[in-house]
Amino acid sequence: MSIDIDRLTVEELIELNHKVVERLKFLQSMYAHKDMMKFNIGEKVSFDPPGQAKQIGTLMKYNKKTVTVITESGQKWNVSPHLLSKVKNVKSKNKKSGNIIDLPVKK
C-alpha cells in the first residue's frame, strides 16, 4: 500500500496523523493485554527495576497497561507485563529443613 502524502492537504494530514496515532495506541494496548494474560492474579513474579535489586512479589491486579505487584517487602509497583518473569516455587529435597527456594522461570 502506498500513500502519496505530498498531495494531501493540511486537514487531511492531521486526520491521517490522528488515525495513525489511534491505531498505534490500540496495537500497544493489545500487546500489553496479551502479555498480561501470561500471568494470573496471585501468581509469584519477579522484575528488575532500573538501579535496584531484583524484586519478587505477588501479582495483585490487572490495570489498563500495567499490572500491580506487591513485593515481599510490602512495596506496591505498577509494572509493564513484558518486564515480568514467573517465579517457580521449588521444594527442597532435604525434608528436615522444609525450605522453599524461589527460582525465576524463563519465558
> pLDDT averaged over the chain?
87
| Gap between the Cα atoms of 55 and 41, Å rounded | 17
Q: What architecture does CATH give domain 7-105?
A: Roll (2.30)
Q: Is the pTM of this model over 0.75?
A: no
Tell me if residue 40 falls in helix, strand or coil: coil
> Residue 105 above 80 pLDDT?
no
Pick left, alpha or beta for residue 23 (phi over 0 → left; psi -120 to 50 → alpha; otherwise beta). alpha
User: What is the percentage of the chain residues whose pLDDT exceeds 70?
Assistant: 83
Task: Give tens-digit pLDDT for 8-56.
Answer: 999 999 999 999 999 999 998 899 889 899 999 999 999 999 999 999 9
Query: Domain-by-domain residue ranges, the chain?
Result: 7-105
